[in-house]
A = this chain, B = another copy of it.
Amino acid sequence: MDLYFMPLAGSLAGRIALYAAGAEARYIEVDPNTKRTSDGNDFAEIYPLALVPLLRCEDGSLLGENAAVLQYIANRYPEARLAPIDQIERARLQQWLSFTSTELHQGLFCQLFDQDASEGTRAHALNKSQSRLNYLDDHLSGREFLLDSFTVADAYLYTVLSWSVPTRVPLTPYPSIKKYCRRLRRRPSIAGAFQEEPALYRGQLARHEAGVRPTPWY
């Protein structure tokens, strides 16, 4: 399997899932500015949306969107138990994957990372996010994970919540979210991914002209 990724982008969730599954995989870096891949191809030709994650499955087919990529990885490595089998529990996993992608990733952080967004966007997105973060905080109160055990939904949620640092989203009003993040960052799959990608991100910054920040990692 090949995972096309941009350092510290949403594709980090796929890396965490692959690490947690102990899977053999090739990680192909995509430059967010030039869309060139680390193996010398034009990513926009491979995937016209040019979004990560993109997974090349073992049969050669390509799969985009975290909700699909992460469930595919979980299904491919069932012994890692990264997604429930039971139908209602799997539906619950899909609910959290969707909540994370729509309400947090797209609804909050894509707005904050968007350097071309109009003035006032940041304040409005932060304001709207309060009810979502409150809901999440209530859910995580007294729970270790989103579901009963660690799943790919946690890999995705942790990835997205990690963006609260560069975007300066205060998590202090959400003590259960903060505790969840502190617990999760000690897991070997997450610690391993966060040992790998910040260095790649710094390499990406260094490759671009001084003072020109790469397009942020959403």
Q: Which residues of A contact B (CB under 8 A)?
A: 48-49, 57, 59, 61, 63-68, 71-72, 75, 87-88, 91-92, 94-95, 97-99, 101-103, 105-107, 110, 114, 116-121, 124, 131-132, 134-135, 138
Contacts and interface: CB of A to CB of B under 8 A. Distances in A.
Nearest to A136: B49
A98 B135 contact: no
Contact of A65 (B75, B88, B99, B116): B99
B138 A48 contact: yes
Contacts of A65: 94-95, 98-99, 102
A92 B138 CA distance: 32
A105 B110 CA distance: 14
Contacts of A94: 65, 67-68, 71, 94
Nearest to A51: B103
B98 A57 contact: no
Contacts of A106: 102-103, 106-107
B67 A97 contact: yes
Contacts of A138: 48
A93 to B, nearest CB: 8
B119 A91 contact: no
Contacts of A110: 107
